[in-house]
Amino acid sequence: MRPLKIITGDSATGPVLQIIGDLDHYTAPELRDVLPTLGLRPGDRLVLDLAEMHFCDSSGITALLAARNHAQAADADIALAAVPANTLRILRIVGLDQVFPLHEDVAAATRP
């Protein structure tokens, strides 16, 4: 198990959260705890950079959905960037690739 590290940054389109490590049953609450601190505004795009996420279980997927719900409540958008192949496979199997906008990298996800 790799510990989770979340680095918060900003872009022209809104906040960017870099998710590093494992997003699982034990660490998913950390992502949920960060969401209310973001100060999303209507029209912003919350980008989750998953390039360094090593593992994501069902609790992690639920935390990603919580981030989406948080963005929608703020009348903002959300995008996932650099989704690892193993997580992308899960998103496709359960149809969440149709729910989350997916981008190759943060640069593409933060393009206005």
- Output the pLDDT for position 112: 86
- Output the pLDDT for position 2: 84
Q: Does residue 1 surpass a pLDDT of 80? A: no
Q: Where do the domains of the chain lie?
A: 5-109
SS3 68: helix
Instruction: State the pairing for strand pair 14-23/5-11.
Output: antiparallel
Neighbouring C-beta atoms of residue 50, cutoff 10 Å: 24
Distances (CA, A) of 92 to 36, 38, 66, 72, 89: 28, 28, 18, 21, 5
DSSP assignment, residue 65? H
DSSP assignment, residue 105? S
* Higher-pLDDT residue of 2, 25: 25
pLDDT tens-digit profile of 30-71? 999 999 999 999 999 999 999 999 999 999 999 999 999 999
Fold of 5-109: Transcription Regulator spoIIAA (3.30.750)
Q: What is the pTM of this model?
A: 0.96
Q: What's the mean pLDDT when you consider all of the chain? A: 97
